[in-house]
Chains A and B, each alone.
Chain A
Amino acid sequence: MTIVEICHSIQQTGWATGFRQADLFFPLVEGTHILSLSLSVGLVLMLDVRLLGWGFQSETVSKVMRQVMRWALPGFAIVIVTGVLLFLAQAESVYTNSYFRVKMAMLVLLGVNAAIFQFKYYPEPFMWEKSGTVPAGAKAIAALSLVFWMVVIACGRLMAYEL
């Protein structure tokens, strides 16, 4: 069975059809997905700002990261859960949508970006934190994070413009 065929069968299930036809529930899930960007992506922005030296210079990177993650982690959980629900309801339409594919590719890149930051720079934050300078690599990661998230959000919006 090809992926498209699997997606087709998911989209045809009673659950998926019911969800798509729901007058209130569907907009609620979609709206939550979009507005919870402010609880996830928007908060990560704070960390990117600190790494790029654009703000919160009086606070250590570790502290900013800790404060951000406290709420960004549940925020991302909401974005992901609503995203999965939206995907399952329209699996085939969405899987074959070019903008969706670009969006997913960007999310993978963002994951890799975050992993590099976590494993290369974060285990020893106290090393470079004491010196006060953020390594160039960490700055690059923050910059890419900003740009990639903008692309993800734009792709999400553009998905509606492809039949």
Chain B
Amino acid sequence: MKIKLFALSIALLVAIPVLAHHSFAMFELTKDVTYEGTVVEYRWENPHTHIILKVDPGAADPSTVGTWDIEGGATSIMGRQGWTRSTFKAGDHAKLVAHPMKDGVTKGASLFYAILPDGKRLYHDIARPKGEGGATSSQ
């Protein structure tokens, strides 16, 4: 009886991704891609801040062309790194370094840092795991 229950729960849990049709938002954490373009929307909110960025054709990296959803962290975490609700607004030019989604199709990326006009880096979080130029990175 217990075994049947256990098997049923595993089966159902495995079925969830199938039922959901979408892929996970898994990001290629070892890949840093620079997205440069115009801010369509700057959503300063919880649980994640989002910067919708439009990269025009003719960009240095052709793989970045299009409209991207670049996801940051929670407001208090980003706030501690210097971000505010008015760091960007629609129409601003922005240069963001982020990790693209693994599936290679969905235009989503996980924010690493923004490069401000004066060249200063605005990181999304204090934690800088591998691939993020942190203490453990060889970069």
Contacts and interface: CB of A to CB of B under 8 A. Distances in A.
A99 B20 CA distance: 6
A62 B45 CA distance: 46
Nearest to B11: A147
A143 B5 contact: yes
B16 A151 contact: yes
Nearest to B17: A158
Interface string B104-115: 001010000000
A146 B20 contact: no
A24 B85 CA distance: 15
A59 interface: no
A17 B45 contact: yes
Nearest to A16: B45
Interface string B89-107: 0000000000001000010
Contacts of B79: 23
B13 interface: yes
Chain A's interface: helix, strand, loop or mixed, by majority?
helix
Interface stretch (B32-40, B68-76, B122-130, B131-139): B68-76
A98 B46 contact: no
Nearest to A30: B47
A132 interface: no
Contacts of B12: 147, 150-151
B3 interface: no
Contact of B16 (A23, A52, A146, A158): A158
Contacts of B44: 21
A27 interface: yes
B44 to A, nearest CB: 6
Interface of B: 1, 5, 8-9, 12-13, 16, 19-26, 44-47, 69, 71, 74-76, 79, 85, 101, 106, 108
Given A20-B46, A98-B19, 13 more contacts: A21-B85, A24-B76, A26-B75, A30-B46, A52-B1, A98-B21, A99-B20, A102-B16, A143-B5, A150-B13, A161-B25, A162-B23, A163-B71
